[in-house]
Structure 1
């Protein structure tokens, strides 16, 4: 009887530690989500605070995204020989300090630099967090584990981003960066306590990690993320302006809109993880056309408040379904360089962020209105679907290495 109890206790302890390890990694994702997405909801406050135009404020979002693009492969490769737990801790410390520097940035130029710096550890952290989470579960549950970590990013849009948006609107937009710094410090404590230590692979090296860049399927997966996800950010970047100017909502409704978008992202991320465990490519084939349809419907529905709210949820959900499948696809395409391959997903998504924000700003500047970015996004999703079809066709001729 005692042996049964001991075995049951051991299983419960392992389950608890697994849950807390994933929560620790997801908490880092939540902090990243707050700093990345709250800027979009506070764009008007940032414009007024720094005395800049809407396109210039959009450049702050692009600067963060470009920081992710530069930092993801660079920091993942440089940290290849470090134990993954230590790499995750170092990246989160860097992230926390960089965000706190944004709080004291005195002018637009300095703020651009600090936002770029804050973006540097973003992709590498998500990359190593996804690899850690996947290593804690059987191969058949990798999509689920990755989606749980990514859920931190999505959940931040339900709780953290609306709260930070309200905080910024009420007491000053710079308080966003204090909040993110505190989340980062909490993440450090949780990772140190619950994420198990695992020695680095004996053959790990910068050269081995960079070997992932020689594979065509890795580049195609990156391109799917860049093109297919660009519409998500083209729409979300200017969501505050769209809801007030087109749907006619008061500014005080923006935190509710952001929260609804976040609920959709949580639902989409969790469903996307389940779908990816069944079929990675099948998920991509279905989700990308779904994004295109959702954005076209959004462009029409946004003229009425009730339908605008419905489509905010739908767009958040369909876009987020793509992320776990892309993450798993990159791991499959480069099993001997998982950290770099995994981080490249977030580099791709933030190129999509920069691309979406830029193209959205272009069509707005051309006078096409705040609905135009969603239509641009629908075109991007269709192009991403074309890349996915090409990737699948090439895989039939040359299957991925096991």
Structure 2
């Protein structure tokens, strides 16, 4: 990514940006105070049985850094939802409940009733407003990871999540495309939220007949359908003007198209094509058709005569998508972006191959 702002780091879900923000700007002690102010060390007290409480893992420097971007420490979805209400309510964090009231059907007497209750004020109104704008930029911003969550008539603010899953057979985490918990916490309309929603899917099947879809694709499908319908059911006035539309395009189905046709189709709608091989027909694509992506994004398409491309400068995420398409087994050394590959660019790929990559962070 090179040198970026903290706002862009937030949009991109940059672990480095979160780490530097907590360690160098805010300070880990202050960050811990905020975690406790948001009551992440307590049960929410929701009216459901068997509630568990997460644990703030914060004993060593590496734990403080991983907690800054949401790894290591454990929080329940309802804890996250409760904390997010402070952002939606001008700094006032609300007590969650399920049952609004219980009424005696014979007498009409209200036996029990819950009313909105403020559980704390962990941040100021000004901070809540600023963070709300940042959450909206995750969906509508140029570098936002939440572009697929945009609604046609309502602005949305939210944050995507991609959690690793511990390996039950040994140390470390599960590897492989899709072996994660993908999530999204979103609220709408973004300038004055009326509804909030959290969706998570563990290890979704991302392989389709047209290729691999994004890990966020099944989450955005659920979120968009439920949120849009719920807002309309509650007669919430749409707040989105044409000028605020997110500039996204739907990916076409290129399987079976000629390479020349596929290249032209992608360029015409503003997607950057990455053609693998010099065959005349397209056999695979890395993004499922009818998926909404930002204009200018890269789409990998594989011809019927695949050859190893020059992947210098590629991110590990793009490399793993390529590996899944080409049946490549990957070993990596380092972090960041590819600086060296063991299979020479231009080499034909006729069967399952094994290759090694060296990655290095950009300064």
Larger fraction in helix = 1
Of structures 1 and 2, the larger Rg is shown by 2
TM-score w.r.t. the length of structure 1 is 0.27
Taking CA–CA contacts closer than 8 Å with sequence separation of 6 or more, which of the two structures ends up with the larger relative contact order? 1
TM-score w.r.t. the length of structure 2 is 0.29
